[in-house]
Each structure stands twice: as C-alpha cells, then as structure tokens.
A and B are shown apart, each in its own frame.
Chain A
Amino acid sequence: MPAIQSPATEEIHPDVALVERAKKGDTAAFEQLVRQYERQIFRVAQHITQNREDAEDITQDAFLKAYEKLDQFQGNSKFSTWLVRIAVNESLMRLRKRKTSKTVSMDQDVQTEDGSIPRDFAEWRPNPEQLYGQNELGDILRKTIQGLPPGFRTVFTLRDVENLSTEETAEALGLSVPAVKSRLLRARLQLRERLSRYFRQKNGGPKP
C-alpha cells in the first residue's frame, strides 16, 4: 500500500520565501513574483477572454488583487495556483460583463455533448507542422480554441497549455477532480474533432 502521508522532508517551493518577504512589504520580492508569472497570467486571461485588451486589464487587476490579498494566502496551495485562480475569476467576470457568450460559468457548458463523440477517424498525416506554415498554424489553433465553450476552454488551458496538474486545475477552478477530468476529456475531444478538419489525411476517408 502506498503511504497516504507525504514525506516529512517535503521540498519548499522558492515562491514561499518571496511571498513571505512580499507580505512584509518587500516590493522587490513581489516584483520578482510578477516577473515570474506575468506571461502565464496574460496567456491564461487571453485564452479565456479571447481578447487582448481584456487580457491586459485582467493581468494588472489579478496582480493588484493578489498584492492586496497577500495576507490571505495561507500557503496551502502553490502561489502560482492561487494567482491563476484570481486571474480565472477575473477573466470569467469579464466575459459575463461583455455578454458575448451565453455560457460563461464553469457549470453551464457541461450540458452539451456536441462534438464530444469522436466522428472523424482520419489519421493526421503529414504532421500538422509539415502541412502548414507557422502563421497559418497559429491562425488555425486560435480559431479552433476560440470555438470551444469558455468552461471547456478554461480547463484545457490550465491543464494542457499551462501544464497544471489535474488537482491544481481543480483547485484553481473551484471544481472537483472528477469534474475537471470530465470537462478535460470533452474539451480535448472537441478540439481534436475540430482540428481534424484541417489536419486529416487528405486521401481516403469522407470529406468533413
């Protein structure tokens, strides 16, 4: 049986010391945290909102909020997960304000099975990178992820783009681990199905 408790000699994340210094008013320590995570926070915000100006505002607001609430950070999770959670909440709030999408909560999207059942079974050959130039590939990837419901897009972004663990993703989104896994499966399958229109082997198999 594997041990349930983690070993006593758990490695301390370097952010812990920076956060402690920042809590005591050390601006340079906080600035280092900003430098470490500004790219990630901007990317998360842009993925969720699909809008660069919103992503800029959210990045600023998320760090300001983190700065103001540093005392509330207990260190039960990683600082980066806590920060991502703030950015996700700000991003979803921004989407609700814009009202360009009907489904902006993490809960509403789960009703749809649309696109989650594999229908395209063509292989991707040659590789997408061989098939398209960098710019064109970027356009395809942006357009495709944009079409995902925000709840699915958010889970996919945290787990697969930002490489958070399933548990960290659950924590950042306030969801259970099974809920993350279910959304992640559907997000991946929907993206795969949509990308297949571009990447499928051209000879053989039905046209999209």
Chain B
Amino acid sequence: MTCTDFLAQLTDYFDGKVDPALLADVQAHICECHHCEVVLDTTRQTIAIYRENEIYEFPTELRERLHAAIMARCRPTP
C-alpha cells in the first residue's frame, strides 16, 4: 500500500469502515510508514481539539437575547 492509497482510506479508517479486505494492509502501512503514522495521529488530534474546545462563546446574555428575539418573531399568525 502506498501513502496515497493510505490517505484515500483515512476517512473510512476513522469511521471504522475500511473494507475488511484492506484493513490489514492499512494497519501494516501505519506500522511501516512513520510519516503516515504521524499524519494519522495529528489528524486525529486535529478533530479532537476542535470537538473538545468550543471556540466561539455563547454567553448567557447572548443566548437569552437571541432566544427572546426568535420567540418574538415566531408567533402564530391570527
């Protein structure tokens, strides 16, 4: 398996959806190729860091103001 072949499987690998016939090759490539091992690890960290850190604040004041504005606009028409 080449590095390009490995990258093509990366999304499925994260989802645990690699074709079983290919999985052993993918795992072997990770063991053999340090570059791809790093890409795998740092891509995993990229996803985790954005998932775990809420980068845009949603303070209570804003939430309440928005909520009130939404509900003021969403009223049944008589």
Contact = CB atoms under 8 A, between A and B. Distances in A.
Contacts, number: 109
B67 A34 contact: yes
Interface residues of B, number: 34
Contacts of A39: 58, 63
Interface residues of A, number: 48
B60 to A, nearest CB: 11
A38 B53 CA distance: 18
A118 to B, nearest CB: 5
B55 A138 contact: yes
Nearest to A42: B58
B66 A60 contact: yes
Contacts of A17: none
Q: Give the interface SS of chain A, mostly helix, strand, loop or mixed.
A: helix
A196 interface: yes
A160 B51 contact: yes
B62 interface: yes
A64 B74 contact: yes
Nearest to B72: A60
Contact of A141 (B10, B53, B71, B74): B53
B47 interface: yes
A138 B67 contact: no
Given A56-B66, A141-B50, A188-B11, 7 more contacts: A25-B76, A30-B74, A39-B58, A43-B56, A43-B58, A121-B34, A122-B38
Interface of B: 7, 10-12, 15, 34-35, 38-39, 41-43, 45-47, 49-51, 53-56, 58, 62-63, 66-67, 69-71, 73-76
Interface of A: 25, 27, 30-31, 34-35, 38-39, 42-43, 46-47, 52, 55-56, 59-60, 63-64, 67, 118, 121-124, 127-129, 137-138, 141-142, 145, 156, 160-161, 163, 166, 181, 184-185, 188-189, 191-192, 195-196, 199
